[in-house]
Amino acid sequence: MVFPYKKQKMMGDRFMHNLQKFYVDGQWVEPQGAEILDVLNPANDQVVSQIRLGNRDDVETAVAAAVNAFPAFSQTTKEERIALLERIIEGYSARLEDLARATTEEMGAPIGFSRQMQVMAGLGHIKVALSILKKTDFTEVMGTTTVVKEPVGVCAMITPWNWPLNQITCKVAPAIAAGCTMVLKPSEVAPRTAHIFAEILHEAGVPKGVFNLVDGDGPTVGAALSEHPQIDMVSFTGSTEAGKKVSIAAAGNLKKVSLELGGKSANIILDDADFAKVIKRSVRGVMTNTGQSCNAQTRLLVPEDRLAETIEIAKASAESVRTGDPMAEDTAMGPVVSKLQWQRVQALIQKGIDEGAELIAGGVGSPEGLETGCFVKPTVFAGVTPEMSIAREEIFGPVVSIMTYKDEDDAVAIANNHIYGLSGGVYSADLERANAVAARMRTGMVHINGAPADAKAPFGGYRQSGTGREWGRYGMEEFMETKSMMGSIPKA
């Protein structure tokens, strides 16, 4: 089989990837939508790929394939799905460099970060899904009743551009493990990783119709999937505003909806923490992935009497971030994903200045020498108050807002006073004290003393950060329904 991503044509002196086919019912097919979209490299504004934008007819074809495949795939044995995930892991492992380069070219993550984090996060989710599947017992006896966990059905998956493989795999892998069929709409801004992933699934022998891929935008393909009467579940990752639209569209037939949305996470630095180490680490953490992570801890909360010290360390940390060509091995921060995102980040930085926050590093405009592309200066504000826009809105860029608190109660109150509740952090030399503060934070996740993300633990948030959970056992359970078969066991 000849895969579309390998068909390249010259544009001037460079190659462009032709991705103008969809993967439906086990084969690459011509879309019915006619509009072509250029995919740009945010580091240099050059076209790196072209896709076709699907329409409602494309959605109908893909959903029909998933519906037809569900009866057989939902009845496959646990052992068959284990073997399938093992083959997917093998195929994914053979394409690591292809996936890393596609990630960097399309959304701007530094190549080292793409290799070590972006791509490996995806592989990790598949391995976790395999591990969970091996341990899962789909039946439970309760007296004379058998309780059965079974696949929810046909799933629509709508994924973003900021962690493309992470978000695709943490939906697709547990859905396959559960026995679901699916239609994926990846971000039209960064689609090539999804196309390569489709090739991996094809080579692994995923049965026809189990996995389908349709490119398109949210208002057309995303909306058509969300409201489709034969879709049993929508799993969406993206902005809170888009998540609300998905929920409204899905409400027409009360399908199950799982939403992983925005965040404005607070990082509480207690007075006994090692400020020289922790402030530097916290600022650099926000700059990771150019601040384009929903769980980035962008509100840095410090004691009032440690503000001057914090400013000095944060300024030096931000100014030491090496920003530049994401294909260079020594680059720490690449561009934001698009000119539209660049403009949004610039507008919010300017709002911070206009509303009276103290700019201590970075600011508006492009870094010197990086005027081409979508590069943003690593930016830090101090004197930020809870009512300011930069404290309320998810900037999704490399911007840290330093806020002060009077005592622990005040810190927790500031952290919790928000529409979001996705993630957070606490630093303290006293683990018991850190745990006590973490327990009071109204958020779905808390990283204590810089603990890394755990792919086996549930990922998700409170309030307008979403509903449902991804990752690990909790993520797999999202793709299941529970059935009680009463009287299935003879009375003793």
At residue 9, the pLDDT reads 46
DSSP code per residue over 455-492: TTS-B--EETTEES-BSHHHHHHTTEEEEEEET-S---
Q: Give dist(CA 219, CA 235) in Å, integer.
A: 16
At residue 210, the pLDDT reads 98
User: Would you give the DSSP letter of residue 212?
Assistant: E
Residues of the chain with pLDDT under 70: 1-16
Q: What's the distance, Cα to Cα, between the start and end of the chain in Å? A: 57
Equal fold, 4-261+466-484 vs 266-455: no
**Known catalytic residue at 30:** no
Distances in Å between the Cα of 339 and the Cα atoms of 7, 204, 371, 376, 393 are 27, 37, 12, 11, 19
Superfamily covering domain 266-455: Aldehyde Dehydrogenase; Chain A, domain 2 (3.40.309.10)
pTM > 0.85: yes
Neighbouring-strand partners of residue 147: 140, 484
The rounded radius of gyration (Å) of the Cα atoms in the chain is: 23
Interval 76-130: pLDDT, tens = 999 999 999 999 999 999 999 999 999 999 999 999 999 999 999 999 999 999 9
Residues in the chain: 492
Neighbouring-strand partners of residue 486: 145
48 near 338, Cβ under 8 Å?
Answer: no
Pairing of strands 358-361, 256-260: unpaired
> What is the edge-to-edge ordering of all strands in the sheet holding 46-52?
8-11, 14-18, 46-52, 36-41
Residue 235: name the closest of 250, 220, 215, 214 by CA: 250
Alpha helices in 153-259 (DSSP H): 164-178, 192-204, 223-227, 240-250
Q: Give dist(CA 474, CA 482) in Å, integer.
A: 14
At residue 1, the pLDDT reads 35
Q: Give dist(CA 118, CA 38) in Å, integer.
A: 23
At residue 16, the pLDDT reads 64
Residue 267: name the closest of 256, 255, 279 by CA: 279
State residue 339 phi and psi, 5-degree precision.
-65, -35
Domain boundaries, the chain: 4-261+466-484, 266-455
At residue 34, the pLDDT reads 87
If one counts every other C-beta atom within 10 angstroms of the C-beta of residue 12, the result is 8
Neighbouring-strand partners of residue 301: 268, 403
DSSP code per residue over 23-48: EETTEEE--S---EEEEEETTTTEEE
DSSP code per residue over 323-380: BS-TTSTT-SB---S-HHHHHHHHHHHHHHHHTT-EEEE--SSPPTT-TTTT----EE
| Domain at 4-261+466-484, CATH class | alpha beta
Alpha helices in 30-146 (DSSP H): 56-73, 78-93, 96-107, 111-113, 119-135
Residue 222 structure tokens: 């995303």
Residue 345 structure tokens: 């980040």
Q: Which listed residue (106, 188, 227, 260) is catalytic?
A: 260
At residue 13, the pLDDT reads 38
Half-sphere exposure of 321 (CA within 13 A, CB side): 37
